[in-house]
Every structure is written in C-alpha cells, then in structure tokens.
Amino acid sequence: MDNNIKVCVIDDDEVFQYTIFHTLQAHKTVDRIISFTDGAEAMTFFKENKDNHSILPDIIFLDVNMPVMDGYKFMDEYIDLIPKITKNITIYILSSSVDLVDFEKTKKIKEVTDYIIKPIRDTQLTKILAEL
C-alpha cells in the first residue's frame, strides 16, 4: 500500500473538515491533506498546479452544496481541465444530500467514482484509500 497518498477535501462545512482531516491523519497511507471551502478556491488551485504532479492530490472528496461554486459547477470546470492535468485523480462526491436528483446527476458524471452520504465511515475511507 502506498504511503504517500495526497488527499483534497472540498467542503464548506467546518465540522466535517475537522472530522475528516483528523480521520485521514490517522491513516498511515495519507501523506498530505489539502482543503478548500468552496469549488472556486479549489479550481484556482487546480488551474495553477495542473502541471505539478507532486502537489496534485491522488483523490478528491467533493461536497455538492457549497457557496460560491458548488460541486457540480466544480466538476464542469474540472472536466474541461482534465486534458491539461498531468495526473489521474480519483473523485468521490461526499454529501449530506439524500435527494435522488443529486444521485442521478452524479451518476451521469463518469469522472466521479461514487456518491457517498456523509458522514463517511472509517471502514469506507480505509477501503477507498486501499484501492488507490
């Protein structure tokens, strides 16, 4: 198992940010965690670092409902950016939304691996990190 997984969390919920940060830190495979409170902030990071393989994350945990730029708008821009990014990045939607519209919308985005309802369980997180 790789011991230098880089994780990106894009979520405006401070409690969730705190919880997932400490949960991820407990995993020996996680090397670095970067976080953003909205999709626009994260998109700026990805555009500025699209060629920097060493700083780009291996996985993104993305919230759907955020101010400024929500998760779906982020994905629209991210998909356009993919050809310019030098790294394959796994993306999971993590949301408290149980709305079927969100499930269906997410299913149509082939770049998203899965839709997980918050809170993510440690067993789920362990499995996801092991699959990287």
What do you get for the CA distance between the two ends of the chain, in Å? 8
Mean pLDDT of the residues in the chain: 93
Fold of 5-131: Rossmann fold (3.40.50)
Residue 4 has pLDDT above 70, yes or no: yes
Contact 58, 91 (CB under 8 A): no
Tens-place pLDDT, residues 62-107:
999 999 999 999 999 999 999 999 899 999 999 888 888 888 989 9
Residue 61 has pLDDT above 70, yes or no: yes
pTM: 0.94
Q: What average pLDDT does this structure show over 27-51?
A: 95
Task: Provide the angle, in degrees to the nearest 10, between the axes of the packed helices 122-131 and 14-25.
Answer: 60
Sheet architecture: strand order including 90-95 = 30-36, 5-10, 59-62, 90-95, 112-117
Q: Considering Cα of 82, then 8, then 55, then 68, what sign does the dihedral take?
A: positive
Residue 15 has pLDDT above 90, yes or no: yes
